[in-house]
Amino acid sequence: MSAREGQAELARLSLNQMTTRRWSLPEAVEASARAGLGGIGVWREPLAATGVAAAAKLIRDAGLGVSSLCRGGFLTSGKPAALDDNRRAIDEAAALDAACVVLVVGGLPDGSRDLVGARARVAETVGELTPYAAEAGVRLALEPLHPMYCADRSVLSTLAQALDLAEQLDRVGVVVDTFHVWWDPDLPAQIARASGRISSYQICDWITPLPADVLLARGLPGDGHIDFAPITAAVAAAGYTGHIEVEIFNQQVWDADPDQVLAAVVERYRALGPA
Amino acid sequence: MSAREGQAELARLSLNQMTTRRWSLPEAVEASARAGLGGIGVWREPLAATGVAAAAKLIRDAGLGVSSLCRGGFLTSGKPAALDDNRRAIDEAAALDAACVVLVVGGLPDGSRDLVGARARVAETVGELTPYAAEAGVRLALEPLHPMYCADRSVLSTLAQALDLAEQLDRVGVVVDTFHVWWDPDLPAQIARASGRISSYQICDWITPLPADVLLARGLPGDGHIDFAPITAAVAAAGYTGHIEVEIFNQQVWDADPDQVLAAVVERYRALGPA
């Protein structure tokens, strides 16, 4: 195919910069643009290292969209500092014109076994953030995490639960990340229900055996057990036309040459993406 | 309290023999009876080592009930040998007068990504087993496993999904194992729905960080993040009056002196059980 066809084909692909974490934000932006991607998923720590205004200019000049800002959340502790930090994330997302701020809501507070209470606190605190997000024109995106992270990362465990909350709030969407939701028997129904509320779609595979550190268990699409086509089709049928982000936490991927990782991401997207 | 009061208090407690796997079945039976427990959960491999008839007699003579026979299942491969093996498990459960045969249904077949198909095959094959189980007077118990085992151990991932299947079949119940279901936002509703269909209740904790081998991630009740009281109350409200089984897969527990492990199980049960 021609270079132009190749570029059009990749217009919806977004590299989450954590996938190539050895690159600085400017390096990831430059490489993504050169490869013809349409977007980039930005993390706050490397964003701070570059500076928000400088990063916003270089991403815009590269012709990329910001598919997500990762991340806000960690709202179960009830500490006021957590809300302040989320407001800063909203400001940054506004400066970047990001499609959303991804919220990983947090696990059980230290020493607590009150899962019902933690979930109630998430609903309250996300509700407290929504006026600020609305004023900034920023969309908050609730990310259900795989139930294996319920105790320590996210008491939001299913898409149904994320939608129960999102539907009560203004300008709050959800993230559909295949790694977190692929196992859910209720997934097709919940994706259909999410119509108009999907703020981010991420493709990432489930590999076995799980690595010793389950936070690094995410595989490149095609390396694991997930059948992507029906999920991608359901997300499209729910009206989602935004970026398709590839976010991989995996030590082997991080140890590899980032140029090769990006090439693999493009190859897998061509094989498994929506063409 | 008196010895008799202690014994009455423990009448519903059952030791799954995998918790003290260094003990043979006769050793586990003897120790459980001496400690005043009312039941034992039996695994098929040590059962075969003792012999089914001999084991049935020694368990009966010890005054213990068999809370579960572990296990049947692994039905997603479509191999006829799997059905034969399940019929043998049913025969053994009948000989032991076990409350149920626990079915761990199996993960995706090798090389397959067809989760929907695997789930459909489970429904078909469990349906094929039910006449045999009915004739033997044995109850099959579908165990939903934590979604982190969906790819490689059990495509049955939630209590709702297990009930969807059990409700269509004769003499098929479900297992409620806190380790597998504690995270589920829909758990109270599904336990209520399970009224009359709970064949086994197991208490086991969720510990963090997860060990390198997630198959050995199960913790003694009280060592982790699960709030047992509301789950135990919901199971009781659903009419379950059977044994409460403690099944721990954990290398540290297995490395410890089995007598001390059993003492710890009793202590935790006294602290957390329905008393």
Per-residue pLDDT of chain A (275 residues; tens, 9 = 90+): 445 555 678 999 999 999 999 999 999 999 999 999 999 999 999 999 999 999 999 999 999 999 999 999 999 987 888 999 999 999 999 999 999 999 999 999 999 999 999 999 999 999 999 999 999 999 999 999 999 999 999 999 999 999 999 999 988 999 999 999 999 999 999 999 999 999 999 999 999 988 888 888 899 999 999 999 999 999 999 999 999 999 999 999 999 999 999 999 999 999 987 75
Q: Does A111 touch chain B (CB under 8 A)?
A: no
Chains A & B: contacts with CB separation below 8 Å: 75
* Bridge partner residues of A69 (DSSP): A42, A101
Verify whether the Cβ–Cβ distance A208 to B183 is below 8 Å.
no
Q: Can you tell me the distance from the alpha carbon of B175 to that of B177, in angstroms, rounded to the nearest whole number? A: 6
From the list A113, A148, A184, which residue is nearest B227 (CB)?
A113
Q: Does A251 touch chain B (CB under 8 A)?
A: no
Q: What share of chain A is helix, strand, coil (3-state, %, to 5)?
A: 50, 15, 35
Alpha-carbon radius of gyration of chain B: 18
- Provide the Cα torsion A23, A25, A26, A29; round to 10°: 90
| pTM of the full structure | 0.95
Chain B residues in contact with A184 by the CB 8 A cut-off are 147, 157-158
Shortest Cα distance, chain B CAs vs residue A50, angstroms: 33
Helix (H) or strand (E) segment spanning residue B107? none
Give the up-direction half-sphere exposure of residue B62: CA atoms within 13 A in the CB hemisphere: 26
For the cut 80, the answer to whether the pLDDT of residue B8 exceeds it is no
Alpha helix segments (H runs only) across chain A: 3-9, 25-35, 44-50, 52-61, 80-96, 115-136, 159-166, 178-181, 187-193, 228-237, 251-255, 258-272
- Best of B113, B180, B190 to disrupt the A interface by mutation (most A CBs within 10 Å)? B113
Instruction: Please give the structure tokens belonging to residue B131.
Output: 């006449």
- Best of B150, B153, B159 to disrupt the A interface by mutation (most A CBs within 10 Å)? B150
Identify the pLDDT of residue B213: 84
Chain B residues in contact with A225 by the CB 8 A cut-off are 108, 113, 151
Verify whether the Cβ–Cβ distance A183 to B225 is below 8 Å.
no
Instruction: Please give the structure tokens belonging to residue B209.
Output: 């960080």
Residue of A nearest to B187 (CA): A116
Chain A residues in contact with B178 by the CB 8 A cut-off are none
From the list B147, B182, B209, which residue is nearest A146 (CB)?
B147
Express each pLDDT in A191-217 by its tens digit.
999 999 999 999 999 999 888 888 888
Express each pLDDT in B65-121 by its tens digit.
999 999 999 999 878 889 999 999 999 999 999 999 999 999 999 999 999 999 999
Shortest Cα distance, chain A CAs vs residue B176, angstroms: 16
Q: Check: CB of residue A157 under 8 Å from CB of residue A147.
A: yes
B111-121 burial: b if 16+ Cβ within 10 Å, else e: eebebebbbeb
Identify the pLDDT of residue B1: 47
Chain B residues in contact with A226 by the CB 8 A cut-off are 113
Verify whether the Cβ–Cβ distance B224 to A151 is below 8 Å.
yes
Chain B residues in contact with A186 by the CB 8 A cut-off are 160
